[in-house]
Amino acid sequence: MNVTDLKNLFMFCGGLGMFLYGMHTMSDGIQKSAGNKMRQLLEMLTNNRLMAVLMGALITAIIQSSGATTVMVVGFVNAGLMTLTQAVGVIMGANIGTCITSWIVSLGQLGDSMMLFSPSLYAPLLLGIGAIMIMFIKKPSSKLAGEILVGLGLLFIGLDFMKDAAGSYTDLPIFKNAFEMFGSNPVLGILIGAAVTAIMQSSSASVGILQMLAASGGVVTAASAVYISLGSNIGSCCTAMLSSLGAPRNAKRAAVIHLSFNVIGAVLFGAGMFLFFQFRPALGSGSIDSVGISIFHTVFNIVCTALLFPFAKALVALSGKVVPAGKKDKELAQENAVEEVVRHLDKRFLETPGVAVENVLNEVVHMGEITLENATLAVRSVFDEMPDEYSKVYENEKTINSLEKLLTEYLVQINNLSLTEKQHQIINHLFYIVSDIERVGDHTENIAEMAEYLHNNNIVFSETGISDLKEISEKVLASFQYAIDARKTGSKESVRHVVKLEDMVDDLEEELREKHIARLSNNECSASSGVIFLDIISNLERISDHADNIAGYVKDEM
């Protein structure tokens, strides 16, 4: 190998690196810009499969990877947030959405006819502007725009590097013979496309490289491009299949639906195109450019979706045959709160940080709602002698402690992802909020223990004491409920309610403490009941403090 060959090899490797990194950077910037909108889009899904297809196409166009979209779908199915019927539509749409990358790559050829509109002319400028925006502009939205521009610039520069490096060798007989072999043997062509895509874990990248080779010297035949493109669709299933390993059966079924849809489409189109090329061999052996590959890729995915769209339920049934139900499967309704949260905090969501942030936020709110129910139960146990309630409070407290550990570990994982400044702020606040909610759980347990002590020792509060406890406990529970609502909805009104109630609880706690001490001095109640009373209102006041902390974090994000 001479110096020129070595230089071309290094240039090709560098170009491939810039192309892949550019795709990643552009996708990452777009995902950050989209924020939590992808989760909101998925929440729009109903049993209307057409809407599901449109959402799948849109989300994949945003994140530039059908594999990543399908992994997210597997996660939603695993979490019980999406049915398999909905998943079929999203998976079909994902294949359409992935075509956007091939059209971006085709811009290079479309611009060649008019140099003024060539992406390679503007790629260095995009890269420069993007770098300046990232380094010197503090506005978060500008930094995200800079990331997208840098990614786009690197993508086109990488393509040019690969095209220049490969251009010297595309005339060699080995390239021509290889593509003629792929074109004459559909099975081999499809297997090559599937293998390359499985290795790169991106059909967009593998089709992009095929387009680059097609544009660099006309070595790619139409037949080989068709079969390799079909194979790339099958190879894109690899990510979702790997993601479903160890997951519950419904998640495996979602991955199987993705694989079966792409395999059926590839077989139908492969057989059809093979017959077509038998009658028109000149078309199959003729060269194809990058735009032609984009056109075929888009037409194939749209037609395949249209053909199989009516058979969505059949695909679901097929996945049930491939992954049959087991005797030990549990329905979501039968799972306890911890198991349910484990399902919802699926690691697959970490592939899309915006969705992961929204998901963990919802689960923190869920933890708060469980804690609120437990606090209500504990307060009620003070006034009603119901032994079963104590044990239920203690059991719920174990659940709350387990949720704190799960959520904190998941927050650590999210915090290491590529997040926007706003998302980082939310995650940092959620760390503290989880801790505040857990402390509320501790105070709740303390109240239940004191209630149990009261009833076990036949200690009774005076009517005035009971009335005072009911007054402060109502305000404390309302304060915590408003705090959870503020975290859930971002409501300014809920934040104001918490602040107002916190001031009232502080004043009331001090007032009740003084009144109770006066009752003790006048022998209106026993010393033992006095200590318990003061401990209960102290724990109630601390719950109100934690509610105020939660509302304060939400206020900081406004």
C-alpha–C-alpha distance, residues 177 and 223, integer Å: 13
Distance, CA of 461 to CA of 530 (rounded, Å): 8
pLDDT class of 47 with cuts at 50, 70, 90: low
Ordered DSSP codes for 18-45? HHHHHHHHHHHHHHHHHTTHHHHHHHT-
What gap in Å lies between CA 458 and CA 527, rounded to an integer? 13
pLDDT score, position 287: 84
* Contact indicator for 217, 163 with CB cutoff of 8 Å: no
Judge contact between 448 and 375, C-beta under 8 A. no
User: Mean per-residue pLDDT for 531-554?
Assistant: 93
Buried b (16+ CB within 10 A) or exposed e, 287-313: ebbbbbbbbbbbebbeebbeebeeebe
pLDDT reading at 516 higher than 70: yes
Q: Which of 17-31, 390-404, 440-454 has the lowest mean pLDDT?
A: 17-31
Q: In the structure encoding, which two tokens stand for residue 464, read together?
A: 């005035």
Flag whether pLDDT at 382 surpasses 60: yes
CA distance 551 to 483: 5
Task: Express each pLDDT in 287-341 by its tens digit.
Answer: 888 888 889 989 999 999 999 989 988 998 998 888 886 544 444 433 466 767 7
Token readout for 284 is: 């199959």
pLDDT averaged over every residue in the chain: 83
- DSSP three-state, residue 221: strand
Most distant CA atoms of the chain, gap in Å: 108
Average of pLDDT values for 260-279? Answer: 91
Asked if residues 449 and 504 have their Cβ atoms less than 8 Å apart, the reply is: no
Q: Specify the pLDDT at position 59.
A: 80
Distance CA 343, CA 97 (A): 27
State pLDDT tens for residues 203-253.
777 888 888 888 776 678 889 989 999 998 888 888 778 777 766 787 788
Look at residue 304 in the predicted model and tell me its pLDDT. 92
What are the two backbone dihedrals, phi and then psi, of residue 345, each rounded to the nearest 5 degrees? -90, 50
Residue pair 84/47 in contact (Cβ under 8 Å)? The answer is: no
Mean pLDDT of 161-174: 70
Q: Is 287 helix (H, G, I), strand (E, B) or coil?
A: strand
In the beta sheet, which residues pair with residue 221?
287
Question: Lowest mean pLDDT: which of 55-59, 108-112, 510-514, 517-521?
Answer: 108-112
Percent of the chain at pLDDT > 90 equals 28
Residue matched to tokens 């840098």: 150
Return the percentage of the chain with pLDDT > 70, whole number: 87
Please tell me whether residue 509 adopts helix, strand or coil conformation.
Answer: helix
Helix pair 99-112, 290-308: axis angle to 10 deg = 150
Lowest-confidence pick of 117-126, 355-364, 386-395, 521-530: 521-530
Average the pLDDT over 168-195 and give the result: 78
- pLDDT of 174 higher than 80: no
Listed in sequence order, the residues at least 6 apart from 129 whose beta carbon sits closer than 8 Å to its beta carbon are: 146, 149
Residue-wise pLDDT tens digits, 430-484: 999 999 999 999 999 999 999 888 888 888 777 888 888 899 999 999 999 999 9
Three-state DSSP class for 88? helix
Number of residues assigned to the chain: 558
Cβ(260)–Cβ(219) under 8 Å? no
Give me the residue label for tokens 């001490």: 517
Alpha-carbon torsion, ordered 13, 17, 23, 29, to 10 deg: -160
Across 182-191, 384-393, 549-558, the highest mean pLDDT is recorded for 549-558
What pLDDT, on the 0 to 100 scale, is given for residue 527?
66
Residue 44 has a pLDDT of 64
DSSP class of residue 461 equals -
Statement: residue 273 has pLDDT above 80: yes
Domains of the chain by start residue, with CATH: 3-322 (no CATH), 337-556 (1.20.58.220)
Q: Residue written as tokens 């690899």? A: 238
Q: Is the pLDDT of residue 552 over 90?
A: yes
The residue ranking higher by pLDDT, 116 or 250, is 250
Tell me: the pLDDT tens digits for 60-99? 887 766 767 777 787 777 767 777 888 888 888 888 888 8
